[in-house]
Amino acid sequence: MSKARLLGFACCLLAGMAVWLTQPRTAPGVFVPFVADVTAATQPVEAAKPETAPVPQAAASTAEQVRDSSATKPAVQTLSNHVTVLRVAGTINPATADFITEGLDQARDQGAGLVIIELDTPGGLDTSMRSIVRGILASPVPVAGFVSPAGARAASAGAFILYASHVAAMTPASNLGAASPVSIGTPSATGGQDTEKEKDTGKKSDGDTMTRKVTNDAAAYIRSLAQLRGRNADFAEKAVVEATSLSSVEALKDGVIDLVATNVPDLLSKLDGRQIKMDDGTMVKLNTANPEINYIEPDLRTQFLTLIANPQVAVMLMMVGIYGLFFELLSPGGMLPGVAGLISLLLAMYAFQLMPVSWSGVGLIAAGTTMMIAEVFLPSFGALGIGGIIAFVLGGLMLTDTGIQAYDLSLPFIVGVAVSSAALIFIAGGFALRSRQREVVTGKEQMVGSEGVVTFLSNGKQYADVRGESWQVRGDRPLAVGERVRVEALNGLVLQVVSLDRVVAPAQSVGGA
């Protein structure tokens, strides 16, 4: 491979990595303090405070008292009957956060009177969940969180979103809770399970400080949301600390949710005329008797980001990227493997940025793949190949540790990819080494031994058709048009040939004599 081509690929890779590194990012999987001022939202607005001027008379009439008390009540605004429904199914990730926040902005611009977020999620990332909660708290349009359809759940991050909504509803046979946080890269020494000593004493070990910090932070966060919406704060805290869950009937009985509905039309019929106090202190009245419902589904961009924001897809993209660059370097000029590999590798890096991954795991996966490739070219007698497989498996185990099935790599998947990768690289390397040991069948060496036919003579020069091309030929004697010749050597652009017809004829005459 030429140095220019190798330099070009290296420049493209470095440019892509530079673009990726300059993108703003947060640290997903690590809980950060809640920045929204939820206590300020609970304070009454200044305009709603009663006048404190002294009363000139000792006694006021009943009419004046009624008039004064009515003046302190905020006016109730009836909203439009336009309803926007956002459907969320699957894990909460950056793509989901963008979808919901954009949906809230679209509902505000269209003058919607209510936004319904249909939830069916096992949980997701802390940063994405907090982004959604901030969008709900800042929304001028009332938001109803609805765990739907029947059999759905709002676990982990979904419980926070439901508690942040102005109205919380569930379908029958649904559940919510189990909101214990898991911080990436800081697993507890007991693997998430309390030891017998901790169960007896009711205390955590000192080595579990980070887990207690993020757990207490999440508990305070969801408790503040429960206090803001007037819901059961005790269960909210237990959902985080003890990972408890409730069914829809139990949640309604314990004051965790506001109502139970079978579907969206049933929910809207039960919400008609309901008064909601917004975060700025104003009172609004829902008008959902004859609603105009606008269902918003995730677009192609959201679906694509959701697809690649999956550890298994990201690992496969990374492997395709490494394979593509490997085959391009092995057989320069194909271009397609190199271009596809570079694009896949950059997509994998972007996907890893979206997910709560350990970059030590990413590095081990890359190092393991590199060692398996190096095994093909270096005489390490299997040391590099075996070490590469071990590094790949360890990197896959370290890559994620969220406790969420959709964000964790299973051991069979990791081992399967590692063995398949090693087999593919070894097979490709074996073919490459065998091809290097064969005779060269292209270029100058390809012409020697080829046969052709003399086509024409011009100005003392002789030309023959060899391998479909017209070549100037030179023999040890003059040649005639139509003679068959065989190439013996190549001198510049002139073929040194011998005549096949004249080789046979003298031999016959000699034998006859």
**pLDDT at 115 > cutoff 90:** yes
Going 12 to 16 to 17 to 19, the CA torsion angle's sign is positive
Q: Give tens-digit pLDDT for 258-276.
A: 999 999 999 999 999 999 9
* 180 pLDDT tier (thresholds 50, 70, 90): confident
Compute the residue count for the chain: 513
Q: Give tens-digit pLDDT for 342-374.
A: 898 888 888 877 666 777 888 888 888 788 777
Per-residue confidence (pLDDT) for residue 94, from 0 to 100: 84
Structure tokens at 110: 């269209």
Other C-beta atoms within 10 Å of 129: how many? Answer: 27
The DSSP output letter for 457 is E
In angstroms, the first-to-last Cα distance of the chain is 59
Other C-beta atoms within 10 Å of 484: how many? Answer: 17
* Cα separation, 499 vs 476, whole angstroms: 9
DSSP 231-249: --HHHHHHHHHT--EEEHH
Print burial letters for 243-255: b (CB count within 10 Å at least 16), e (below 16). eebbbbeebbeee
* Residue located via tokens 């970059």: 359
- Four-CA torsion 38, 41, 44, 45, nearest 10 degrees: 140
Q: Report in angstroms the alpha-carbon separations of 443 from 3, 191, 330, 435, 448.
A: 21, 63, 19, 16, 10
Phi-psi region of 322 (alpha: psi -120 to 50; beta: other; left: phi over 0): alpha
Percent of the chain scored above 90 by pLDDT? 29
Nearest of 92, 126, 315 to residue 117 by alpha carbon? 92
- 497 vs 351, residue with greater confidence: 497
Nearest of 172, 176, 175 to residue 156 by alpha carbon? 176
* Cα separation, 408 vs 411, whole angstroms: 10
DSSP 88-127: EES-B-HHHHHHHHHHHHHHHHTT-SEEEEEEEB--B-HH
Q: What are phi and psi of 462, to 5 degrees?
A: -115, 135
At residue 350, the 3 state secondary structure works out as helix
**pLDDT at 302 > cutoff 60:** yes
Q: Give tens-digit pLDDT for 14-71.
A: 555 544 544 444 333 333 333 333 333 333 333 333 333 444 443 344 444 434 444 4
Nearest of 402, 384, 395 to residue 417 by alpha carbon? 395
Task: Tell me, yes or no, if 203 is annotated catalytic.
Answer: no
Does residue 108 contact residue 140 with C-beta atoms inside 8 Å?
yes
pTM: 0.60
* Catalytic residue, candidates 128, 148, 156, 165: 156
Percent of the chain scored above 70 by pLDDT? 70
Does residue 342 contact residue 325 with C-beta atoms inside 8 Å?
yes
* Catalytic residue, candidates 213, 270, 277, 285: 213
Does residue 503 contact residue 477 with C-beta atoms inside 8 Å?
no
At residue 200, the 3 state secondary structure works out as helix
Q: Give tens-digit pLDDT for 415-445.
A: 787 778 777 767 766 666 666 666 655 566 6
Task: Tell me, yes or no, if 247 is annotated catalytic.
Answer: no
Per-residue confidence (pLDDT) for residue 176, from 0 to 100: 92
